[in-house]
Structure 1
Amino acid sequence: MKARNVLLPALVTGALIFAGASFAQDTTGQAPPPPQNTMPSAPAPTQTPPPDVTVRSVPPAAPQIATPPPFSQLAGNSKWITEEQAAAYPPLANDFLNASHDGKRVSKTQYEAWVKQIQ
């Protein structure tokens, strides 16, 4: 294929884009004047200045989380923490599915990894 066959479509496309942009910027036409109001006008209301508004946005304070209890305190004499036992420590209860990896119980290893994650 010859070079001119490749350049011709590119030049035509550029010319069309340029022509469209130049027509869009044409401002020779004037907007029509607004329609005349034939009804008697009411007195204009007095203009009051807008009130001064000050907006101060501050992010909320980070929640304070109590120190996580030891695994043995939550698990009792078991090797696992169940969802019912996790209710004794609300942050674990709220994040139970994450701590248990979508399981029904949390092992000691999973609990220790979860504690490291939240600190």
Structure 2
Amino acid sequence: MKARNALLPVLATATLIFAGAAFAQDQTGQTQPPPSQDSMQQPPAQTAAPAPMPPPDVTVRSVPPAAPQLAPAPPFSQLSGGGKSITEEQAAAYPPLANDFLNASHGAQRINKTQYEAWVKQMQ
């Protein structure tokens, strides 16, 4: 039993040395697979190499898009339908107000005349 216990560390050391050598081999020197029989029977085709072309001149110009032109804000009475406030559905008639409804209403569900006038002033 003692001989078996003495052989185990020697075997483990040899295995580690062999594994290290296997991992340390250079992988860049890999060879190409041998040519197939079909390619060996046919002579290589003689093709003329295309003449190298100079790279094309490329010019990139980037310009930001023009700012959209907004129609003037309609009067409060037109959007509110004669009421005292503008709902989100009524604000949809003027897209800039519909997009900024939460800001104009300060988080409420309606915009009163004072809030609308302040919003129009801010947009100018």
TM-score (norm 2): 0.58
In 1, Cα distance between equivalents of 2:66 and 2:92? 24
Look up the match of 1:118: 123
Look up the match of 1:95: 100
- Give the paired residue count: 79
In 2, Cα distance between equivalents of 1:46 and 1:101? 68
Query: Where in structure 1 are there 5+ consecutive unaligned residues?
Result: 1-34
In 1, Cα distance between equivalents of 2:105 and 2:54? 60
Fraction of identical pairs, as percent: 77
Return the offset for 1:76: 1.5
TM-score (norm 1): 0.60
In 2, Cα distance between equivalents of 1:83 and 1:76? 13
Larger Cα Rg: Structure 1 or Structure 2?
2
1:66 aligns to 2:62 (yes or no): no
Q: Which structure 2 residues correspond to residues 1-119 of structure 1 after superposition, within 5 A?
A: 46-119=51-124
Return the offset for 1:57: 1.0
CA-based RMSD: 2.1
Look up the match of 2:10: none
Query: Where in structure 2 are there 5+ consecutive unaligned residues?
Result: 1-27, 33-48
